[in-house]
Structures are given as structure tokens and as C-alpha cells.
Amino acid sequence: MTTTVGKGKTGPAKYKVIGTRPIRPDGLDKVTGRAKYGADVQMGGLLHGAILRSPHAHARIKKIDTSKAEAFEGVKAVVTANDIPSASGQPINLGETMGNPQTLAENVLAKSKALYKGHAIAAVAATSPHIAEAAVKLINVDYEVLPAVLDVREAMKEDATLLHEGQMTASRVEGDSKLKPSNIAAHSQFKGGDIDAGFKEADVVVEREYTTKPVHQGYIEPHNSTAWWAPDGNLTIWKSTQGPFVVRAQVAAILGIPASTIKVVPMEIGGGFGGKITTYLDPVAALLSKKTGYPVKLVMSRKEVFEGSGPASGTFMRAKIGANKDGRITALQAYYAFEAGAFSGSSVGAAAMCAPAPYNVENFQIDGYDVVVNKPKVAAYRAPGAPQGAFAIESAIDELADKLGMDPLEFRRKNAPKEGDRQITGIPFPVIGCIEVEEAIKATDHYKSLLGGPNRGRGVAMGYWFNAGMQSSATVNVTSDGGVSLITGSVDIGGSRASLAMQAAEVLGLKAEDIHPSVADTDGIGYTGVTGGSRTTFSTGIAVINAAEDINLQMVQRAAKIWETQPEEVEYADGVFTSMKNPQDKITFKELAGKLPGTGGLVTASATSDPKGVGPAYAGVIVDVEVDPETGKVDVTRATIVQDVGTAAHPSYVEGQMQGGLVQGIGWALNEEYFFSKDGAMQNSSFLDYRIPTSLDLPMIEVVVVEVPNPGHPFGLRGVGEVGIVPPLSAVANAVSHAIGVRMPNLPITPASVIEAIESKTKS
């Protein structure tokens, strides 16, 4: 069930195409199996690669002997980290995180140390995947096994085993200088007002510790890469990725070659959620291709995906929040320690900025620590950092409302920010929909309904994500039959080809079906940022709009030429050009397109965008649960997500993004975790043991679409893909806490942890 609330919903539709539900242009190929994904790449002379991975979570690499593998029949080449030049250069903007060329290279192939079980050590190219897999087992590595550091709190201790002996804590916090190496890669702080005075003013204070475990993005398609390093020095890479231009930048930095010599061809992508931005296989496939003179394909197994690519951070957090008896928050303090995995670069900064954003707080201090541990280097996962950060804040907020005897939603509404209020960064909020979302939650049938029955609980929570802009490019071409081709550099994960085509159609006065969208490679379009950060329909959409407006201008000029009049005397509306001087002179877009070859040739337009009017997004979630007190099993019986989307370009895709975020958040709250042995080996590296929710675990997801148009976009669009995953973790935890009468500060909420909580309550 979907409900839409917001401006412009009581009268006629504001747009003719935006807000409709056309069939997605890539749908037929995908349902018939014609769509080509990264692992489907085939070509003459193709070799197959395999990677040797470390069996240890922390070990010094003393020697690598590849001689037996190189002598194995069918093997064409072997590479190690010694084949990678010394990577250098400026940090690379990966869209949702930053990448350091040196650590990216060391993550691709370990040099002096293996820093997690699954860390790539060497790779083989052979005439078949079976030969390659057999050959890597012949590579002999002499390891000096070192103690593994697996918990963020243990890693932060002064006597902890160091992953990187030369790493110092990067900090700009006053009085925080440390002159000796540490596993704490960075310390950041946001501070405002008078935190001590704020807590003195409070009538009620809640202070609690929280933990979350690393979780996987859950994409179905594994990582893949096929590389062909041609004799002329040009490198072509075919792969499933969220950002071909970002892959190009990473490979160029790691291999020390010009980006202009690299072409990345994005294939269809079987899910990403942020996890398919970082490069893992591309430099290795490229080096093997260079050595052999043939194209080389690498495809991860599911076990390799879990052990050798990036999950979201595990965390240890503290939240302390005070409020007066009237329900106004007087002070907020938070401590976030985020696991970065083997190399620095967690999303702790985003957590610190996003988690308190649903609240207008004058007195605050938030400290964030980026900490390395012997686990896979973390990667972006849908609003990276925000779900964990919100879990701590929203859980404490809920407990605070309980102690004050206030409705949890009313408490949130009383402290909600509005346009002009300052974020913790000091920057004022633009037009936002926090209050509108909370009012829509309160108006839902779900929130008004009675729970009924024992062992049931209801939880609510709010979430925020900045959304992003970044640069995009688009090209629009008009064909002589009146069709329009739309070319962008944005990989389509969640239906962006359709939403971009719809924006072009709206501007051009055509139907969505008249626009034929495609995704180009890095040589076929101008620079375009990643499909991530909830930016694609917003930012690439603006590039599309700019190009389409240019097309309209050119078409008006052609009509004026035909009618021997001035362009300003031609009007264009709803697909028809009309002479203002002689109103009987009319011509449709398609008719005019047929006359273009004789009036100067077909028209084309290219445009870029780098928009600053990004519209941040809020979402709220209501979850009902039923807990079995004998087994500890938690069943989600009802779930509703309410989200401000600005304007729903394609409502079906908007609803799907909202539902998907809520479902992933439920999995994060109840089921999902990387489970490690004491020596750092992941014990559940398959979808059999790492259990994501299925339809059998879920109720029908109810959706309420709130539309507070974003003034930074011509159609009012906001990014919708990420904020939906932010509130479910805490909403579920709050619901379970209400059901059993004990707070659940640790995720996932497993049956064992529920039984333990119930027993602790009984004993007390």
C-alpha cells in the first residue's frame, strides 16, 4: 500500500511525464536473459584468472615462491604486489568515501603484510578457470603469523598489536596530539554550545553504550573484471561497477599510467549498494593481461566476495542525551568508534553528521574515531555510516521519551529542525521535510492502530542522509524519425535510465517511450560521478535537462528557419511548434525532426552539471514486532516507511527504493553480521549462513511518500536511494525493547540475545 502526501496533490498533475509509471527500458532484456553482466564478457583468446588469498588475519609476508605455479601446464602468467609500481598521488574521491592510492594498491595485492583473512596475495592467468584455481594452490607463501586485532575497542588500546607500524592518528582536535603509532587512524570532533551547561539543565539524562557488527551489502552478482592491455598501450576494462570513471581513476593511480589510456566499459550490474565502487580485481586483471598479451577475466566466488571485499563498519558507540521535563533536548554527546578494516577510511564522519540531524540541538559534542582492525577494508553501504550512528542516537532518544512519559514521535517533533536551523557543521539547513515526515507518520493508520496481545512492541525512528551532487554529463541526439537517444555516464542500478529519460521527455514535450536511454563507457561521454550518494536522478537529471533545453532551442531555430521568421516568434509546447506570427503554421516535434537533414543536419546537445542545490532527505520508520519469549525469535508483523522524496519522478522506483532500504535495515537489525573466529576467519561466508531476509521473514511493506519539493532541482527532486536504510535498525531495536521491557543496545538482535535480555530482567 502506498500513500502520497505533499504539495500539489489535490489538483491536476503538475507534470505530464514526471510522476507517471512508464515501463523501464531495460526490463525486457533483463527478464529474458539478454542483458550482459560483467561475468558474461567473452572474446577471442580470453584467459581466466584466480587469486591466492591469505589464510591468516594478520601475517608478515616473508617470501612468495611462484615457480611451481608458473611451470603448471596452461598457466600463462603470475603476478604479485612486486608487479605493481609504487602507487602515489592525491586521494581519490570515490563518491561516498575517499581512496588513498597506496592503500588501494596494498588492498589489491598485499605487499609486506596480509592484514585480513582473504587478503589477495598473488594471481594466476591460465587457459581455463579450473587450471587457474589449481595453479594458485601451488604458490608457496612463507608467513610469519602475528596476533590478530579484531575488536575496535581492543585495537584502540595503547598496547594493541599494530597493523601499520608507521600510522599516526590524524587529528585536529585540541589536546589530542599523539606522537606514537596507533591503530586509531583519525579522530574527528564536532562541538557546539556548552555541553556541561546543557546537561546541568536537563531533568532527565540517558547514557548508554551500543555496538553493531560488520554487515554485507547483499548484492547478488559477485565482483568481476575483464581487462585487455593492448600492444598500443591502451587498457580496456569491462566490469560491473557503480562508477566507471572512478574505476579509471583508481586503476590509473595504482598502475601509474595516464587515465586517458584507460577505457572502462560498464556492464549491467547485479546490485551494488555502495559496494561496487572500490576496485579489487581490475589492476590485477590488467597486469595479467599485460604479461600474457591476452585479455584476462577475473570473477570472485561468493566466499571471496565476503572475505575479500568491503562490508559496512562494525562499531562501538556511546550516546548521552539530556532533556528537560518539557521535552526539549538540552545536550547531546556521542562517541563513535568505527572499524575501518585493514586500512583507514571508515564512514565515521558521515555518522557523526547524519545521526543528530533530525534534532535541533544547541549543546553538543560528537567524537568520531576511524580505527583499523584485521578485517576486510570497509566499503560504502547505502548511506554509509548513518545507519549505525542513528542506531545509537535514535535508541537513546526513544529511551529518553519513555523516561519523560512522552509519545516518542511527539518528542521527536518537538525537537525537529526546520529550514534555517544550523546543522552540527554550522551550515544552515536548506528546505527540508523533517517535520512533514513526522506529521505524516503520526497520521498513518499504522501509528494510530492498537498493537494488541502480549509480547508485542512498536518502535519508531527517524533518519537523515545529506544526498550528493557531483558532476555528471549527458548527450541528447534527435533522430530523423523523431526519436531521441539519451546517453549518460551513470550506471543504472535502480531504474535511473527510466527516471532520466522521463526528465528529458518532460522538457522535450514527448512521451517517455520516445526517449531511448543508454549508458556509455568512459570514452563515450564526459566525466560522470558514481551512481551513489543518492545523486544520479538529481545531478545527472540536471545535465539531461540542460541538454534537452538546448535541443528545444535548436529545434525552435530550425522551425523559424523553415517559416522564415525569428526564433523568438516560435512557441513550443506539448510537442508542437507554433508560429506566433502565423498561428496556422504548426509542426510537431517528430515532423520537424524529419526535416532536420535539409535544414542544416540533425541536432545534438551535450551538457554537464555540478549542482549545489542538493536536497537532503529524511525518512521515518514504524515497526511492529512480536517476540517469542521461549525461543527469542522476533517476527516483524507490520512495517511502514515514510520518506520525503521531493518529487517522485517514477513513483514505482521510489517506492521500491524505500521498501528495499527498510528491508535491508530489518536484516541488519535482526539477522546479519560477519561472524569471526578468534583467529579472524569469517565463519559464515555464504548466503546459506549469512542470512539476509526473504519474503517469508517480512510483512508487506507500507509506503508513505512525502513530497516537499527541492528548490535546487527544476522538478523538485531529491535523492531517494539511501535514507530509507537509516532508521530501521533503531526502530526494530526500539520495538523489541518495548515488547520485552529491556533495552537492546547490541545488533543484531539474535534469539540468544533476546533470551539473555529476558533472563537478565527476571534476575533483576
Q: What CA–CA distance (Å, rounded) separates 298 from 689?
A: 25
Preceding peptide of 714 cis, ω within 30° = no
Crossing angle between the packed helical segments 728-740 and 751-763, to the nearest 10 degrees: 40
Per-residue model confidence (pLDDT) at position 11: 44
Confidence category of residue 7, pLDDT binned at 50, 70, 90: low
Q: Which triple of cell numbers denotes residue 450?
A: 492498537
By C-alpha distance, which of 525, 584, 577 is closest to 551? Answer: 577
Other Cβ atoms within 10 Å of 605 Cβ, number: 18
What are the tens digits of pLDDT across the range 97-124?
Answer: 788 999 999 999 999 999 999 999 999 9
CA dihedral 36, 40, 41, 46 (to 10 degrees): -170
Q: What CA–CA distance (Å, rounded) separates 563 from 115?
A: 72
Burial class (CB in 10 A: 0-12, 13-18, 19+), 357: buried
Burial class (CB in 10 A: 0-12, 13-18, 19+), 317: buried
- The mean pLDDT value for 629-657 works out to 98
Per-residue model confidence (pLDDT) at position 141: 98
Q: What CA–CA distance (Å, rounded) separates 691 from 306?
A: 13
What are the tens digits of pLDDT across the range 199-240?
Answer: 999 999 999 999 999 999 999 999 999 999 999 999 999 999
Q: What CA–CA distance (Å, rounded) separates 642 from 622?
A: 8
By C-alpha distance, which of 399, 416, 415, 460 is closest to 204? Answer: 399
| Average pLDDT, rounded, for the chain | 96
- The mean pLDDT value for 643-651 works out to 98
**Verdict on whether the full-model pTM lies above 0.85:** yes
From first CA to last CA, the distance across the chain in angstroms is 43
Strands (E), 312-422: 315-323, 329-341, 364-372
What are the tens digits of pLDDT across the range 284-309?
Answer: 999 999 999 999 999 999 999 999 99
What are the tens digits of pLDDT across the range 524-567?
Answer: 999 999 999 999 999 999 999 999 999 999 999 999 999 999 99
By C-alpha distance, which of 321, 376, 356, 310 is closest to 199? Answer: 321
Q: What CA–CA distance (Å, rounded) separates 741 from 200?
A: 28
Q: What is the DSSP letter of 383?
A: S
Q: Which amino acid would we find at residue 362?
A: E
Confidence category of residue 343, pLDDT binned at 50, 70, 90: very high
Q: What is the DSSP letter of 96?
A: S
Phi/psi at 305 (5° precision): -60, -45
Strands (E), 198-261: 204-212, 224-229, 235-239
Per-residue model confidence (pLDDT) at position 94: 83
Other Cβ atoms within 10 Å of 326 Cβ, number: 9
By C-alpha distance, which of 612, 619, 210 is closest to 382? Answer: 619
* Residues whose CB falls within 8 Å of the CB of residue 449, separated by 6 or more in sequence, listed in order: none
What are the tens digits of pLDDT across the range 166-176?
Answer: 999 999 888 77
By C-alpha distance, which of 755, 760, 739 is closest to 455? Answer: 739
Q: What CA–CA distance (Å, rounded) separates 172 from 169?
A: 10
Query: Is pLDDT at 442 greater than 50 in this prediction?
Result: yes
Q: Which triple of cell numbers denotes residue 279?
A: 576496485
Query: Is pLDDT at 9 greater than 90 in this prediction?
Result: no
Confidence category of residue 760, pLDDT binned at 50, 70, 90: very high
Per-residue model confidence (pLDDT) at position 6: 74
| Residue 153, helix vs strand vs coil | helix
Q: Are 476 and 504 in contact (CB under 8 A)?
A: yes
Query: Is pLDDT at 660 greater than 50 in this prediction?
Result: yes
| Residue 440, helix vs strand vs coil | helix
Phi/psi at 716 (5° precision): 80, 15
Q: Give 11 or 608, the one with higher predicted confidence.
A: 608
Q: Which amino acid would we find at residue 142?
A: D
Per-residue model confidence (pLDDT) at position 10: 40
Say how many CA atoms lie within 13 Å of 111 toward its Cβ: 13
Phi/psi at 331 (5° precision): -160, 150
Q: For residue 764, what are the CA distances in angstroms to 332, 359, 375, 396?
A: 29, 34, 37, 22
Confidence category of residue 8, pLDDT binned at 50, 70, 90: very low
Phi/psi at 431 (5° precision): -65, 120
* Residues whose CB falls within 8 Å of the CB of residue 407, separated by 6 or more in sequence, listed in order: 401
Burial class (CB in 10 A: 0-12, 13-18, 19+), 538: buried
Q: What CA–CA distance (Å, rounded) separates 94 from 739?
A: 41
Q: What CA–CA distance (Å, rounded) separates 394 from 355?
A: 8
- The mean pLDDT value for 130-137 works out to 98
Q: What CA–CA distance (Å, rounded) separates 710 from 335?
A: 32
What are the tens digits of pLDDT across the range 18-63?
Answer: 999 999 999 999 999 999 999 999 999 999 999 999 999 999 999 9
| Residue 256, helix vs strand vs coil | coil
Per-residue model confidence (pLDDT) at position 452: 86
By C-alpha distance, which of 150, 123, 117 is closest to 137? Answer: 123
Quote the percentage of the chain above a pLDDT of 90. Answer: 94
What are the tens digits of pLDDT across the range 371-393?
Answer: 999 999 999 999 999 999 999 99
Confidence category of residue 12, pLDDT binned at 50, 70, 90: low
Q: What is the DSSP letter of 676?
A: B
- The mean pLDDT value for 564-586 works out to 96
Phi/psi at 407 (5° precision): -60, 130
| Cα 674 from chain centre | 19
Q: What CA–CA distance (Å, rounded) separates 540 from 645?
A: 17
* Residues whose CB falls within 8 Å of the CB of residue 564, separated by 6 or more in sequence, listed in order: none
Find cell 602468467 and name the residue: 77
Q: Are 638 and 649 in contact (CB under 8 A)?
A: no
Kindly provide the b/e burial profile for residues 458-491, where b requires at least 16 CB atoms within 10 angstroms of the residue's own CB.
bbbbbbbbbbbbbbbbbbbbbeeebebebbbbbb
